Amino acid sequence: MSRVYNFSAGPAVLPEEVLKELADEMMDYQGTGMGVMEMSHRSAAFQKILDDAEQDLRDLLQIPDNYKVLFLQGGAHLQFAMIPMNLMKNKVADYIVTGQWAKRAHAEAQKYGKANKIATSEDQTFSYIPDCSDLPISPDADYVYICENNTIYGTKFKELPNTKGKDLVADVSSCFLSEPMDVSKYALIYGGVQKNIGPAGMVIAIVREDLITEDVLPGTPTMMSYKTHADAGSLYNTPNAYCIYVCGKVFKWLKAMGGLEVMKQRNEEKAAILYDFLDSSKLFKGTVAKKDRSLMNVPFVTGDKDLDAKFVKEATAAGLVNLKGHRSVGGMRASIYNAMPKAGVEALVAFMKKFEEENS
């Protein structure tokens, strides 16, 4: 067996310790005589997996008691619609558009009400986070929406916007559990787990209880009402049971690592190795405003398309894979999520140094 350093933006690298446990338990989960994939979601064994996963997530993020944790399907994209359907009581919401995913969320919300774009960084290909200290928040806005870490462009909100008292909704798909966060500052947090937590096919939504009501937009499908899933403890229908199990394993791994403060330090250390090199390199450069740099997704370019392609090809051959930038921006992108070891980032930088010497 030989494993590569996988810099994919998602689905992405998982901790090897977790993958080994999954393999060990594939045929017989803790004496049940069956694997978790084969298990009824109504069984006591699975209920314990689900309860432990929720509790471990609550412990990691110190989620206050007045928030529900929901394990949902349909990817982050379904939340683009589910959020307005459940939260747009006045049919008005304000969107801060800092990338492709916020743009999609904003476009989707326009189907259900008045979705205002109150700030954007599209003028400079989303390479920075706009000043959000004094935005024209709509007096009747039901919520203010952000994408907290912009996976494609590599920017992150280092400070939350001033919502002037309005509820804040955040897509945290690509920074989920990368550092501590104060859940009480948000009304709703959600993220697809395939970036920093588990396999594809699930979203975790952390929703303040008062927002979970029967008062949703007319025509909202049963499956798209938060109340349906909250009332049923994420077991209204068959959930993505195996994915919940894997996420639960990752939560336990994060706890064993020392929790989110420790992950933050590790992630800062890893990102600094790469950013410091980019800042000193004559060939490579980062594409993002320094103050807004993400710890998770690091886009960079040489400035020459052919050289970029050569780099990606040679890096792949050297076991450093999935470094091609998103199709909408080109260049390169290294996603260095929680499960990417420091050695992986060091190997990447060593390879970049060698490439720079050979190509200048």
Ligand X SMILES: *Cc1c(COP(=O)(O)O)cnc(C)c1O
Q: Which of 174, 220, 228, 267 binds ligand X (CB under 6 A)?
A: 174
Q: How far is the CB of 288 from ligand X (least distance, A)?
A: 15
The residue written with tokens 């049923």 in the block is 232
Binder among 69, 76, 244, 250 for ligand X (CB under 6 A): 76
Which C-beta is closer to ligand X: that of 201 or that of 259? 201
The only residue of 41, 58, 77, 326 in contact with ligand X, by rule CB under 6 A: 77
Cβ 188 vs Cβ 87: under 8 Å: yes
Return the number of the residue (196 or 302) whose C-beta is nearest ligand X: 196
Cα separation, 93 vs 149, whole angstroms: 20
Q: Binding residue for ligand X (CB under 6 A) from 142, 171, 179, 308? A: 171
- The token pair at 335 is 């996603």
* Integer Cα distance of 300 and 355 in angstroms: 14
Which range of residues in 11-19, 69-77, 244-252, 278-286 is near ligand X by CB under 6 A?
69-77
CB atoms within 10 A of CB 252: 17
Ramachandran region of residue 93, left (φ > 0), alpha (ψ -120 to 50) or beta? Answer: beta
Which range, of 170-178, 255-263, 275-283, 352-360, touches ligand X by CB under 6 A?
170-178
Token output for 173: 């798909």
156 scored as a contact of ligand X (CB under 6 A): no
**CA-CA distance, 197 to 307, in Å (whole number)?**
33
Q: 100-109 and 75-87 helices cross at what angle (nearest 10)?
A: 40
Question: Is residue 75 close enough to count as binding ligand X by CB under 6 A?
Answer: yes
Confirm whether 270 is a catalytic residue.
no
Tokens 């109340």, residue located: 227
Among residues 161, 192, 239, 299, the one that binds ligand X under rule CB under 6 A: 192
Could you say whether residue 173 binds ligand X (CB under 6 A)?
A: yes
Clarify whether 117 is annotated catalytic. no
Interface pick for ligand X out of 69, 87, 93, 147 (rule CB under 6 A): 147
Residues in the chain: 360
Catalytic residue among 101, 166, 270, 324: 101
Strands 114-120 and 332-335: unpaired
Nearest residue (CB) to ligand X, 155 versus 234:
155
Q: How far apart are CA 162 and CA 173, in angstroms?
A: 21
Q: Is 195 a catalytic residue?
A: yes
Active-site residue set: 101, 171, 195
Binding site for ligand X (CB under 6 A): 10, 75-77, 101, 147, 151, 171, 173-174, 192, 195
